Structure 1
Amino acid sequence: MYIVLKFFLKLVETLFPGYFALVMATGALSISSFFLGFEMLAEMLLYFNIAAYTVLLTMTILRVVLYPKRIINDLSSHAIGSGFFTAVAATCVLGSQLILVADSYAFAFYLWGFALFLWFLIMYSFFTLVIVQRDTPTLSEGINGAWLIAAVATQAVSILGTLLVPAVGSGHEIILFTTVCFYFLGCMLYLNIITLIFYRFTFLKLESSAFTPPYWINMGAVAITSLAGATLIQHAESWSFLTEITPFLKGFTLFFWAAGTWWIPLLFILAFWRHIIRRHPVTYEPALWAMVFPLAMYTASTWELAIALETPFLQAIPRMMFYIASIAWCFVFIGFVHHLYIRTAAYYRAARMQKRV
């Protein structure tokens, strides 16, 4: 029992800040499944996500209490600090799952409130810590696709808030005003950060080892932005101001969807360059969930965009992308289980050897 507890605490101490991307990827795939009519699969993924979110949240709370210095060090890191935004996005994705897949609004309200709290806490803590640092890394060392999770988290807050509107009586205009502001704030964050990333791609040397899975968020961030816009468009009748700006929202949402679509071939080409031409090994790492999420989110966003813009011919794209996202999720999940098994077995072997000594 002592060995199990010690191993669990070791996992807590070394927990990757961006591990909530597992919940994000699973939730996006669940929502895509529901949109495409695979309701049983959507429900199964929902139950899995509830369990995964509960475990990760518990581990994160324990990490804050037991290892606060590790939390601060990770949060102030240019390389991995932005991974904390996955907690915000995962909270909202789970809430959206509950509404869309289970038609349950009660707990989703609490998740939205919790997500807002996390958003303010992480947003201003992370950017304050990286700004006031005395020794800052170079652009090539400090910037990566994970920074765009700040935009993803912001758009996730917008989506969940908008989905809650039908269950709200008075005051729904305040919620919609908030979600519209978060939508535009998420757009601003994406445009600012993607400029730095594109500059890093095109003018600074990119090693195959540096092209990590979080760079897929280049596409995932605009995919969730498209979904946020499409969700606002579909709820436009709930607020007169939203109706007035609907033409603008349609154009802006299509703009971001087109940008996300442009990224997909380039990301696949760069992945081919990394693993086939440069022969970089394919091994499991927690950041791989940041690759699955964009694929699943693009599927969901394209489906909803087709409805919002009344362009049903676009629904052929998510019908194809769904299977790509599903295969990616299965491969990464198998890698996750294998990684956890190997790590557990190695720890127990080391503990037995130490006990013998």
Structure 2
Amino acid sequence: MTGADALVGVVGASGAVGAPAVRFLRTLGHARLRLGGRRPEPLRALARESGAREETVRVDVHDDSSLADFCRGCDLVLNCAGPSYALVDRVALAALAAGADYVDVTGDEPVRAALTGHPLTQGRTAVVSAGLLPGLSALLPRRSAARHGLARLRAHTGGLERCTEAAAGDLLLSLPGAADQDAVFGTPLAAWRGGRVVPRALRAADAVRAPHFPAPGFVQPFLTEEVRRLAADLALGEAEWFNVHLGERSRTLLSSLAGRPVADLAGAAAALRRAADLDLAGREPFYLLVLETVDTRGRERTLVLRTTDGYRTTGHVGAWTVHEVLEGRIPHGVHHAADVLDPERSVTALFADPGTGTLREYEGAFAGSAHEEGAL
């Protein structure tokens, strides 16, 4: 079953990402929804918004039978729960075992690798990295490449917003030396140059003002696996990626953890969430993705995505990916969202809704690395 008649199950439906995904699915015309989460009342409140008879089901993502019961009968399952490093392919395998297609707002390379070649994927579609980052973070450069050609890319991303439990854990794993699995998600301090990853090419720095950001922050180089794939696929001459942390308390915590293993990931994640809440108190939240590009003719452009809620933007991308799968525009197999979504069509549709954020393009110089060589 495809299109608006399909039953879409949303795991983590009442969360920071799930609730916006549900609302955007409704906007896209998908009324048959099964809302899943840990707490029944927020699910029922979300269902009441539409006036439709949406199912609400309590689901425990760490319980196999609970996941199987939730996925049974769904045509597609959208996973908005996390953290991705803990769940990996648990929700995906339950969905595929129930005969459903699958979309994950995170997942990225660990889930793609786990699912590729798995017998349950035969004749099914599974799409990971269908969020803001990863997701739009590669889709926007692909759109630039399709429009103008792309030779060099430098990105700064971050802002000032709440930090969910799922986001905190994944963010901590991007710090230099945080865990043995760093290379699964990306390479701290690395850059892409001349067709290869150059380790320890950059260094983290505090009190640096990144392009288009309103204040100085802790700027952390982290060449994500997504950017590495993008750079290799588009044969980029250079690619650099920086995470920008503006909140004073968050900056202090992250600076103290960088360069050494995080022994207590759960405790550090809780501390990061508290720090982010304190940094945000009395201030307006925002999130920026700034892409500085050089096209194949040497022309420089800057693309700036601004949103007041990065989690909402992620939910919209996940919902749009569900829509494209159900409309038959994504082939069977296991994919990263940015590799199979049509960049122009997707970006146009997403930013037609102001809730996704704003997207502006400027003529502007690519000034080379703003950060000194070396390592923290």
TM surpasses 0.5: no
Provide the TM-score with structure 1 as the length reference.
0.27
Provide the TM-score with structure 2 as the length reference.
0.26
